[in-house]
Amino acid sequence: MTTSGRISQSAFDGSRLRVILLLDLFEGAQEQFLDAYEHMRNQVASVPGHLSDQLCQSIENPSQWLITSEWESAPPFLAWVNSEEHVQTVRPMHNCVRDTRSMRYSILRETTPDQPLGNEAATTDLQVEARVGEGVARHALTFTVKPGSESKVAEILAGYESPQPQVDDTTRLRRTSLFMHGNRVVRAVEVEGDLMAALRHVARQPEVRAVEEAINPYLEQDRDLRDPDSARVFFTRAALPSVHHVASGSKAPEGLRRHALYYPAKPGCGMELARLLAHQDEAAAEDPKSPVYRSTVFQRDDIVVRLIDVTGELDADPVAALGVKGAKKAAELERLIDGAAIGVEGSLETERNINRLLSHVDMMPVTDRSADS
């Protein structure tokens, strides 16, 4: 088994995906849960990329259940799980379940009667090599606020006291970066340990709850945080998953600056746009001259956000900063991005339009808090 020396995680390696959902049911909710599961499995059976799923019940604790599914690769699963159809499909389960935990794994090796040991290389739908991690999970939330309220929302979001970073013996909130682009808010978090434990910990903190209540009147999507179903649906729709992360294998240089770039994709092109940027960032991680040291691509539907840590000024190398270095890469981006949505139209083959695009996609920083600072 080979490994890459660079820190990396990706939804775009083409390997089959195993999804594991652990559930703890309320007492007496078993029949209601089974009815909800039958509805869900009938829906998911026709989703492109879905291969199989199983429902399992613990032999030790009958209130604990497991749903496991297999997918051709991560992109079709992510398209399904982030869709409005999925939000509505799983909603009947909410009243049955006390707690859930979702885990997603690329399949690296497998043993079957018809697959001789040591012959994995011949199977093209397995992960090619083990990736090097750093014990950090990344996630983001995005939502929009009412036009005209942007400055007030930015003031509220910048002014709260940071929550306690230590969640438990194994989990710690490492960094929170918050940006705005027009009336869109993006909050990205980095967590050492259990991501869900950290998100729940943060949601319970009084200072965070006060901020969430303070911005409620300005949200375009109504929510009631006192209603578990309303809060769950809001945060499900706001989820902006990390689909790719890569960092150079070299030591982090001093003075790295964090930027978030917002790439609205043309309808139906979000995943393809995220894949393009992911491949570009993989190449940048191999280039010692690239100003992009570290990158995370977040994507949901046609919303793509790229969080980058760079050396020097962002506009010193706009092509590298945008992720379009190389022949015809700017044309690929032009084909996928909705330039009209951000006020930039025309060919990206010109230096002028590249510079204009960079200035338009660069999000306004609101706050960037590290547990170590």
| Lowest mean pLDDT across 5-9, 114-118, 148-152, 321-325 | 114-118
Angstrom distances, CA of residue 314 to CA of 279, 311, 320:
20, 8, 9
Q: Is the pLDDT of residue 117 over 70?
A: no
Q: Are 188 and 296 in contact (CB under 8 A)?
A: yes
Q: Rounded to two decimals, what is the model's pTM?
A: 0.91
Q: What is the model's pLDDT at position 124?
A: 65
Q: What is the model's pLDDT at position 3?
A: 38
Q: Give the number of other Cβ atoms within 10 Å of residue 248's Cβ.
A: 21
| Lowest mean pLDDT across 1-10, 128-137, 139-148, 303-312 | 1-10
Q: Is the pLDDT of residue 194 over 90?
A: no
Q: What is the Cα–Cα distance from 127 to 117, expressed in whole angstroms?
A: 16
